[in-house]
Amino acid sequence: MRSSIWCAGQGHAEKFSGWYGARAWFVTLTYRPGVEWSADHIRDAIHRCRKWLARQHGGKLRYVWVAELQKRGAVHYHLIVYLPKRLSMPKWDKQGWWPHGMTNTQVSRSGVGYLMKYVSKFSPFHAFPKGMRLYGIGGLNEQARAIRSWRNLPTWARDQFGVGELTRRACGLVVRATGEILESPWAVLRGAGGLWLYLVGDLPPRYADGPYSALDGRPCGA
């Protein structure tokens, strides 16, 4: 989760993202007392913001959000939304995008770095509502999505393959070019005291040096 959120922020900030230099806005959505959480609340709010942006600019909405529990146990959301510099983010409650409580909107100076401090608070003891998504990402282009997927691969897989060369399937990691299913060089065993990793194969030599090392002029995923 931490890796996905951080990589999404990096992808939105890259020159190839489409709106390089766009302004990042930090938005907080809170529930008023007595309003119960529902899975469609954040989805509908983002949909309304997306429609507004389409009317104002015509581009797609680029965002990252995380959920957090307040001390009183209520859910609230923190978002980073990227807009063209000529646009200002309106108040989501005033626009009717978030009719469930209060909102706060301000320019973000650290982009997705704002969200990382909330992610760091997560623990196994958080009692989030059943079925609740803890984060969401939208608006990344194909190249940024491929790089995020590559960064979320195990180290041994990144050492062998570059961006776009592997895909995840129910059976495991699959090499796009050959259909080969990769076997992990590590085995996970449950024992006294927790989980244990054992090396059962050979660790590959380092091949891929960063997310762009194997692109070789090809588009991601080719």
169 and 197, same domain (yes or no): yes
| 190 within domain boundaries | yes
Please give the radius of gyration of the chain, using alpha carbons only, rounded to the nearest integer. 20
**Separation of alpha carbons 203 and 184, rounded Å:** 9
Above 70 in pLDDT, residue 202?
yes
**Separation of alpha carbons 56 and 83, rounded Å:** 10
pTM, 2 dp: 0.79
115 and 179, same domain (yes or no): no
86 and 174, same domain (yes or no): no
| 148 within domain boundaries | no
| Count of positions (residues) in the chain | 222
Question: Which pLDDT value is given to residue 219?
Answer: 42
34 and 120, same domain (yes or no): yes
Which residue segment(s) compose the domain that 199 sits in? 154-222
| 56 within domain boundaries | yes
**Separation of alpha carbons 193 and 123, rounded Å:** 19
| 147 within domain boundaries | no
Q: N- to C-terminal Cα distance for the chain?
A: 26
135 and 168, same domain (yes or no): no
| DSSP secondary structure letter of residue 69 | E
* pLDDT level of residue 221 (50, 70, 90 thresholds): very low
107 and 176, same domain (yes or no): no
Looking at the 3D structure of the chain, how many domains does it have? 2
pLDDT per residue as tens digits for the range 36-89: 999 999 999 999 999 999 999 888 899 999 998 876 678 899 999 999 888 999
Look up residue 147 and give its two tokens.
């790089």
120 and 185, same domain (yes or no): no
6 and 101, same domain (yes or no): yes
129 and 163, same domain (yes or no): no
44 and 107, same domain (yes or no): yes
Per-chain mean pLDDT for the chain: 84
199 and 105, same domain (yes or no): no
Above 70 in pLDDT, residue 15?
no
Question: Which pLDDT value is given to residue 217?
Answer: 46
Question: Which pLDDT value is given to residue 87?
Answer: 93
Q: How far is CA 200 from CA 132, 178, 196, in A?
A: 37, 24, 12
